[in-house]
A and B are shown apart, each in its own frame.
Chain A
């Protein structure tokens, strides 16, 4: 081994914030190399395609009703039939319902994916003692945490917000009025809630809220559990058993509706519905806490996670 041509490096160093993106990029790279990711992504894609082509199905049904309406007169009022079809397919018409259902279904797949990917994205740094590699570089531990959160947030955005924006764009291209007119659905009597730019911001808000919360939660729980199976169990407890418990307490035992705040997924959905412009009466389940209460719980959980991460990534961790 010879060091005959060692050359010193002369260049300028960027600030520590520049390291955030490489951390996120490398974490994403390790995830994208896994077949599991692409399997779950294709499930998400199938769901997206269902929504995407469902809009065409609705348009086709409407055009068929317009042409064949008179012949269908014997079977009933064509207007009523169309309303029935629209009601059945209301989750495909580009309204707040479309995006609420889309985020809910896609979010489920995202949660499963994150539970499986947590150890790859974050846990391995603790298992393989790579944390010392990061923290020995001229970055702070918050740069590291931010980089990891960014990687998770990108995965969430790729699975939820990005396809939701495509669905929104598809609807806007179909009818420009949808993009400009906030009361598009109410004025046309085709649905509820806002359209246009308000809905666009609602989608972005829902996606951002989902990515921020899930990324902080995943980074904290994955650095705690490290391995895949324990992480899956923790996420099942958070998103399945707590949901079950909240439902039993509120719907079964008729406890105060605030007990539903235990259900983190419901808190996320509730805030998401708030972003999409749902009125309190239109929210499902009917017995639900206030938006601000759900927001407070999510902020509280996030703060606890950040405090834990601050503790977890201290130098103590890297000393054996």
Chain B
């Protein structure tokens, strides 16, 4: 068992940050999704043993969260959202220092720091002062200090925050590799749906301190029978007009010939092709359009509001 939480609550004064959180997760790449202020960072710090819960108890990798602080953190690499850098240090020094804090001997820590920085593509910047690092490099450096003692678990708080698209892609690829190829259990906290979509195979949605839903992404996203992705070649104007007349709703047009449509209950897929033939249009693709993570997130939030 990766994480097992029972009735965890945490308040700051009169403000509840987490309310009665129950969570059971197996090892894997888990996304912790929620808007700002949902309680994600608080949950991460409780899992880290750095913040005691106001009530409830829990375990992470068989370590009791309330009592196994040091042993618990030896199994965890934590990448904070804030920069959390030590000004004046060089990149290699900083990562080696993180290793020493984990109990590594100085020489070993330095050797390991160079290894990890090289793996993360920072070998040329390792002797630069931390103040001179770009945002993307700082993010990678923070990942390096979390990886230096080779922990089985990585807790990542907004790892792509402030990164450019290319840097973000690179970081997400790296996280997938760490999880898939190197067996790291990852808990990725973010408010960016795309990050979770790319990296995680399970998701926990947190809102206003409560867990709204949890489980594998594939299972949580509804398989919808009434939505399709339709790809059309040629001028689609006539076809779209007829589709509308038949009661089909055009939900989204990406401007490049791809449409998301919602069909009436009696609709059959053959009807698309028949109408296309009438208008002399080629249907390049047609596939069922299941709910994506973004829709799942909004649906869950909406359902909560109705409750």
A interface residues (Cβ-Cβ under 8 A, vs B): 1-9, 11, 13-16, 18-19, 22-23, 26, 29-30, 33, 124-125, 128-140, 314-316, 318-320
- Using a Cβ–Cβ cut-off of 8 Å, how many residues does chain B contribute to the interface with A? 56
A16 touches B103 (CB 8 A): yes
Chain B 101-156 interface residues, beta-carbon cutoff 8 Å to A: 101-106, 108, 112, 115, 118-121, 140, 145, 148-150
Please state if B70 and A2 are interface contacts (CB–CB under 8 Å).
no
A136 touching B70, Cβ below 8 Å: no
A318 and B45 within 8 A (CB) = yes
Select the stretch in B167-175, B188-196, B249-257, B298-306 that faces chain A. Answer: B167-175
A181 → B minimal CB distance (Å) = 45
Instruction: Knowing A138-B70, A315-B45, say if A3 contacts B119 (CB, 8 Å).
Output: yes
- Chain A: minimal CB distance from B200 (Å): 18
Which A residues are in CB contact (< 8 Å) with B69? 140
Assess whether A137 is in contact with B84, with CB atoms less than 8 Å apart.
Answer: no
When distances are taken between beta carbons in the complex, the residues of chain B under 8 Å from A5 are: 118-119
Closest to B130 in A: A128
Asked if A124 and B87 sit within 8 Å, CB to CB, the answer is yes
* CB contact under 8 A between A133 and B102, given known A30-B86, A33-B88: no
Please tell me if the beta carbons of B119 and A6 are within 8 angstroms of each other in the complex.
yes
Within the complex, the shortest CB–CB distance from A45 to chain B, in Å, comes to: 24
What's the nearest-Cβ distance from chain A to residue B238, in Å? 48
Contacts beyond the supplied A130-B86, A136-B73, A319-B12: 15 A-B pairs with Cβ under 8 Å: A1-B173, A1-B174, A3-B182, A6-B119, A9-B148, A13-B104, A15-B103, A18-B103, A26-B97, A30-B88, A125-B86, A129-B80, A129-B84, A138-B73, A320-B41
Closest CB-CB distance, A115 to chain B, in whole Å? Answer: 19
Q: Does B199 contact A (CB under 8 A)?
A: no
Determine which of A125, A132, A314 lies in contact with B80 in the assembled complex, contact meaning CB atoms within 8 Å.
A132
Q: Roughly how many angstroms separate A315 CA and B65 CA in the complex, as a whole number?
A: 13
Q: Report which of B50, B52, B100, B119 forms a contact with A136, defined as CB distance below 8 A.
A: B50
B115/A7 in contact, CB under 8 A: yes
| Cβ contact of B120, chosen from A1, A8, A314, cutoff 8 A | A1
Q: What are 26 pairs between A and B in contact, CB < 8 Å?
A: A1-B120, A3-B119, A3-B120, A3-B181, A4-B119, A6-B119, A6-B181, A13-B103, A14-B103, A19-B101, A26-B89, A29-B88, A30-B88, A33-B88, A128-B84, A130-B86, A132-B80, A133-B85, A133-B98, A137-B98, A138-B73, A138-B101, A315-B45, A318-B50, A319-B51, A320-B82
Proximity string of chain B (58-102) to chain A, C-beta cutoff 8 Å, 1 when within and 0 when not: 000000000001111110101010111111110001000110111
Residue numbers in B under 8 Å from A133 (CB-CB): 80, 84-86, 98, 145
B48 touches A11 (CB 8 A): no
In the assembled complex, which residues on chain B have CB atoms less than 8 Å from the CB atom of A134? 101
A7–B118 CA distance with the chains assembled, in angstroms: 11
Chain B 6-22 interface residues, beta-carbon cutoff 8 Å to A: 12, 17
Q: Shortest 8 CB-CB distances between A and B: which pairs?
A: A315-B51, A13-B103, A1-B170, A9-B150, A136-B78, A129-B82, A137-B101, A22-B100
- Would you give the shortest CB distance from A144 to chain B, in whole angstroms? 9
Give the chain A neighbours of B121 by CB distance below 8 A. Answer: 1-2
Residues of chain A contacted by B181 (CB below 8 angstroms): 3, 6
Point out the residues of chain A lying under 8 angstroms from B89, CB to CB. 26, 29-30
Contacts A5-B119, A30-B87; is A140 near B101 (CB within 8 Å)? no
Q: How far in angstroms is the closest Cβ of chain A from B70?
A: 5
Whether B27 is near chain A, meaning CB under 8 Å from some CB there, is: no
B100 contacts A315, C-beta separation under 8 Å: no
Q: Which residues of A contact B240 (CB under 8 A)?
A: none
B58 → A minimal CB distance (Å): 15
| A26→B87 CA distance, assembly (Å) | 10
Nearest CB in chain B to that of A314: its residue: B51
B171 touches A1 (CB 8 A): yes
Alpha-carbon distance A14/B69, docked complex (angstroms): 16
Complex-state Cα separation, A124 to B88, whole angstroms:
11
- Shortest CB-to-CB span from B133 to chain A, Å, is 13
Q: CB of B177 within 8 A of chain A? A: yes
CB distance from B36 to the nearest CB of A (A): 10
CB of B150, distance to nearest CB on chain A (Å): 4
Closest CB in chain A relative to B256 CB, distance in Å: 29
Residue B42 lies at the interface, judged by CB distance under 8 Å to chain A? yes
Q: Which residues of B contact A11 (CB under 8 A)?
A: 104-105, 108
Q: Considering only CB atoms, which chain A residue lies closest to B41 in the complex?
A: A319
Q: How far is the CB of A125 from chain B (nearest CB, A)?
A: 8
B288 at the interface (CB under 8 A from A): no
* Residues of chain B with a CB closer than 8 A to A26's CB: 86, 89, 93, 97
Is the beta-carbon distance between A9 and B84 smaller than 8 angstroms? Answer: no
Please measure, in the bound complex, the distance between the C-alpha atom of A1 and the C-alpha atom of B105, giving whole angstroms. Answer: 28
Highest count of chain A CB atoms <10 Å: which of B102, B174, B178: B102
The closest CB in chain A to the CB of B115 belongs to A7
Q: Which residues of B contact A19 (CB under 8 A)?
A: 100-103
Q: How far is the CB of B131 from chain A (nearest CB, A)?
A: 10
How long is the Cα–Cα vector from A283 to B68 in the complex, in angstroms? 52
A129 contacts B83, CB within 8 Å?
yes
